Structure 1
Amino acid sequence: MTTDTIHDPDPDAPAQYAFTHLRHIGLAVPDHDKQVEFYTQNWGLSEVGTDGDVTYLAAAGSPERYAVRVRRSADKRLDLIAFGAADNQAVDDLAARLGRSGVDLIGEPGTLQTPGGGYGFRFFDVDGRTIEVSADVAVREHRKIEAGESIPVKLSHVVINTPDPETTVAFYERHFGFRVSDILMHPRMGRMMWFLRTNAMHHSLAIARGPHVALHHASFELRGIDEYLRGTGRLLRSGTEKIWGPGRHMAGNNTFSYFLDPNGNTMEYTTELEVLDEDTWHPHLLDFTRPEVADQWGTANAMNEFVASRSFNDPDKGLFVAPPV
């Protein structure tokens, strides 16, 4: 581990975070019904609305109206990643700034027609993903997850693949004020993953070097270690394909168990993601060929070509094409 000068923030980046937090992700999949069954019967989310082709799934411990949106589609894609903004004025200011910078807006800010309503807009990021930002979304009645309940509290973070991560990281820094918390590197392949934060949590977004643009994984936070292990065990008993884990990463100091959903997306159970003292934190450059960087506990299966290939996912078929909903 080193804290040498490893990253120079973009001087044009906003002084403050443009996003308050991660809201939800949208997935388009060929087998909608099996996907919904997996997330409700195995993963621990609850269905809170559907029209038959789009289903909204919530985490019991989160005030967000939903954590995952599943849309029936012939093509598999990441429909969108949604973030929150402080208020309607922040939404308007961001849209104006992105427009001046030449970012491709899908639409102007307005009232959202999705559950919870709110005020927001969508745009394409530098790789062609659809990103949504919103404020004033109605909160959902939620509850404290009890001891022993092995269901997600909330959506923790999202990791995305791109063949040009340096450009993608610079895009998110410049336009939204994301800050780098840590970087994973390989002695021969160079820097491989950047962990980005938009609040004091170690990362809400991470950007990985991959062969094509795709979802790497989405991660869900559980109540604690016991609940995380119970959830991991439940999925193993159900026959869900495990990719990697259980273990504990060094970057973020969080636990991990990765599984494949029915349409081939990697999903993670985690807990105890690090909350940073931002006044004193300095990014680390971590060599993930060291076993303790990938897994401090030494309990997970080795990070190998099998694990890496599942994390590459299929090439995203929805780049620079806005989802219909």
Structure 2
Amino acid sequence: MNTTSPFSLTHLRHVDLAVPDYRKQLEFYTGHWGLSVVATDGDVTYLAAEGSPEQYVVRIRKDSDKRLDLVSYGAADAATVDSVAHRLAADGVALVADPDVLQTPGGGYGFRFFDNDGRTIEISSDVAVRRHRKIEEGESIPVKLSHVVLNTPNPEETVAFYNKHFGFKLSDTLMHPRMGHMMWFLRTNAQHHSMAIARGPHVALHHASFELRGIDEYMRGTGKMLRAGVEKIWGPGRHMAGNNTFSYFLDPNGNTMEYTTELETLDEDTWHPHLLDFSAPEVSDQWGTANAMNEFVAKQSFNDPDKGLFVAPPV
């Protein structure tokens, strides 16, 4: 087992979505968002980011129900995978199956389980590295998957779950004077967050975020989406928590997707979490360039209730 890191998990691998309008979803992610098809069987398609060594960063599956199929995280080695699976099972967490060879692109060794909210989470190691390339100056396509934000009506419990079982560390918290604590930013490496937990009316995907090469590429990508008529929800701007840029758009099945860049890298020895007041305009957007955070933005971020809780995806 890896003993050089304080974290059980190394990084975010991919986010998998099931959607009713499969064709439009694929057209969006390949024709507009800038991802590349690496494998498909007609009803399931795996999409890679050109700058990422991950085999794929998004998986799209055709289904009558819209759901978050799973979120996948990497582990250092097979021993860590086995150790985590053993600890989860011993603590009463429901495993979908015991660790085994994975049958998805890149193979590897891993397992899936249900978190406290019923989402399917995958932990894997030894996945083959994909041949990738350096994203060039001016290319407005994702370098990699940056982070995922998850909605839950029980955020304190969910934050405690990921801290207890995987050692996720709190980087910052957003609060509102009337609504209390609203979002917890969690890290599993030096990046400010690879996961955030948001208070919402139901369990659902809040958004997935994709890192672009730099500010210029981020702005070019934002403009490309606007020119293509993709519905913008919020941005462009720069958050205070994480110090990253943001432009949020709606995919054809109503999931929020973000272009970002320059997410903060933290020093483990000196960083202390902040409690940030979300009602202060500079907390949500340091630049002051984004549209106001209002009921429309919040509603899109809540998403539809996830129809796949405590039911593992078929693939």
> The TM-score by the shorter chain falls in which range?
over 0.9
Letter in 1 for 2:283: V
- Give CA deviations for 1:13-45 in whole Å, capped at 9, x if unaligned: xx9211100000100000111101100000000
Alignment of 1:96 onto 2:91: no
- 2:235 corresponding residue in structure 1: 245
Match of 1:214 in 2: 204
Aligned equivalent of 2:110, options 99, 114, 120:
120
* 1:18 aligned residue: 8
The secondary structure found in structure 2 opposite 1:107 is strand
TM, length-normalised to structure 2: 0.98
| Pairs aligned (count) | 311
Aligned-partner residue type, residue 141 of structure 2: I
- What does residue 223 of structure 1 align with? 213
Is 2:169 the counterpart of 1:195? no
Q: Could you report, residue by residue, the CA deviation over 1:87-133 in whole angstroms, capped at 9, with x for unpaired residues?
A: 00000011101111110000000000000000000000000000000
Residues 260-314 of structure 1: per-residue CA shift (max 9 Å, x gap)? 0000000000000000011000000000100000000000000000000000000
How far does residue 203 in structure 1 lie from its aligned partner after superposition?
A: 0.1
Quote the residue 2:274 is aligned against. 284
Q: Distance in 1 between matches of 2:59 and 2:265?
A: 27
**AA partner of residue 123 (structure 1):** F
Aligned to 1:273, what secondary structure does the other structure show? Answer: coil
Quote how far apart the aligned CAs of 1:68 are. 0.1
Write the distance in 1 (CA, Å) between the matches of 2:303 and 2:179.
20
One of 98, 101, 121 as aligned partner of 1:131 = 121
What is the TM-score when the length of structure 1 is the normalising length? 0.95
Task: State the Cα RMSD in Å.
Answer: 0.6
Match of 1:171 among 143, 147, 161: 161
Q: In structure 2, what is the equivalent of residue 274 of structure 1?
A: 264
1:50-129 superposed matches below 5 A: 50-129=40-119
Structure 1 stretches (4+) deviating beyond 4 angstroms? none
What's 2:170 paired with?
180
Same amino acid, percent of matched pairs: 79
SS at match of 2:248: strand
Q: Secondary structure at the match of 1:302?
A: coil
Mapping for residues 141-152 of structure 1, pairs under 5 Å: 141-152=131-142
Q: Structure 2: which amino acid aligns with 1:285?
A: L
